[in-house]
Amino acid sequence: MKQVTGYLRQKGPAGIRNYTLVISTVHCANSLAQSIADKTGSHVIVHDYGCLESADNARSTFFALKNVALNPNIAAVLIVGLGCEQTDRDRLLSEIRNVEKPVECLTLQACGGFIKAEELGIKLMNEMKAHISDKRESISFSNLVVGVQCGGSDWTTALAANPLIGALTDRIVKAGGSVLMGECAGFPGSEHIVAEHACSYEVGLQIMDMCDSLRAVFFSEHGQSLSDVNPTPGNKAGGITTLVEKSMGNVKKMGAAPIQGILRIGEYPPHPGLWLLDIRAAGPDATTTSGFSLSGAVMGVFSTGRGTPLGNVAFPVVKLTGNTDAYRMLPDILDFNAGVILEGQSLDTTADALFDFVLDIACGCCSRSEINHCFEFMIPRDYR
Amino acid sequence: MALVDIQQGEAVTAEGGILIARNAVSKGHKIAWRDIHAGESVVKYGVPIGKASSEIKQGDHVHIHNVLDITDELCTAYASAFRQRGGGEK
3-state secondary structure chain A: CCCEEEECCCCCCCECCCEEEEEECCHHHHHHHHHHHHHHCCEEECCCCCCCCCHHHHHHHHHHHHHHHHCCCEEEEEEEECCCCCCCHHHHHHHHHHCCCCEEEEEHHHHCCHHHHHHHHHHHHHHHHHCCCCCCEEECHHHCEEEEEECCCCHHHHHHHHHHHHHHHHHHHHHCCEEEECCHHHCCCCHHHHHHCECCHHHHHHHHHHHHHHHHHHHHHHCCCHHHHCCCHHHHHCCCCCHHHHHHHHHHHHCCCCEEEEECCCCCCCCCEEEEECCCCCCCHHHHHHHHHHCCCCEEEEECCCCCCCCECCECEEEEECCHHHHHHCCCCCCEEHHHHCCCCCHHHHHHHHHHHHHHHHCCCCCHHHHCCCCCCCCCCCCC
B-chain CB neighbours of A204 within 8 Å are 82
Which pLDDT does position A234 carry in this prediction?
83
Tens digit of each residue's pLDDT (9 = 90 or more) over A330-354: 999 999 999 999 999 999 999 999 9
Please state the rounded mean pLDDT for residues A166-184.
97
Please state the rounded mean pLDDT for residues A307-311.
95
- pLDDT category, B89, cuts 50, 70, 90? low
- What stretch of H or E contains B77? helix B71-85
Tens digit of each residue's pLDDT (9 = 90 or more) over A188-232: 999 999 999 999 999 999 999 999 999 999 999 999 999 998 898
Torsion of CA A195, A160, B50, B13, to 10 degrees: -140
Which pLDDT does position B7 carry in this prediction?
95
- At residue A150, what is the residue type? C
- pLDDT category, A309, cuts 50, 70, 90? very high
Tens digit of each residue's pLDDT (9 = 90 or more) over A7-33: 999 999 999 999 999 999 999 999 999
Which pLDDT does position A2 carry in this prediction?
81
Please state the rounded mean pLDDT for residues A303-320.
96
B-chain CB neighbours of A189 within 8 Å are 49, 71, 74-75
Which pLDDT does position B14 carry in this prediction?
84
Cβ–Cβ pairs < 8 A, chains A and B:
97
Q: How far is A152 from chain B (nearest CA, A)?
A: 14
User: What is the torsional sign of CA A337, A339, A340, A341?
Assistant: positive
Tens digit of each residue's pLDDT (9 = 90 or more) over B18-48: 999 999 999 999 999 999 999 999 999 999 9
Which pLDDT does position A282 carry in this prediction?
66
3-state secondary structure at position B55: coil
Q: Is the minimum CB–CB distance between A245 and chain B shorter than 8 Å?
A: yes
Q: Across chain A, what does the average pLDDT equal? A: 95
More confident residue, A94 or A306: A94
- pLDDT category, A240, cuts 50, 70, 90? very high
Query: What is the spatial distance between Cα B29 and Cα A181, in angstroms, rounded to a whole number?
Result: 27
Percent of chain A with pLDDT over 70: 99
Tens digit of each residue's pLDDT (9 = 90 or more) over A119-148: 999 999 999 999 999 999 999 999 999 999
**Least confident span in A87-91, A98-102, A238-242:** A238-242
Q: For A244, which of B50, B81, B82 is closest by C-beta distance? A: B50
Q: Across chain B, what does the average pLDDT equal? A: 93
Q: Which of A164, A158, A166 is CA-nearest to residue A248? A: A158
Q: How far is A310 from chain B (nearest CA, A)?
A: 24
- What stretch of H or E contains B83? helix B71-85
| Contact flag A226-B71 (C-beta cutoff 8 Å) | yes
- pLDDT > 90? residue A317: yes
- pLDDT > 60? residue A384: no
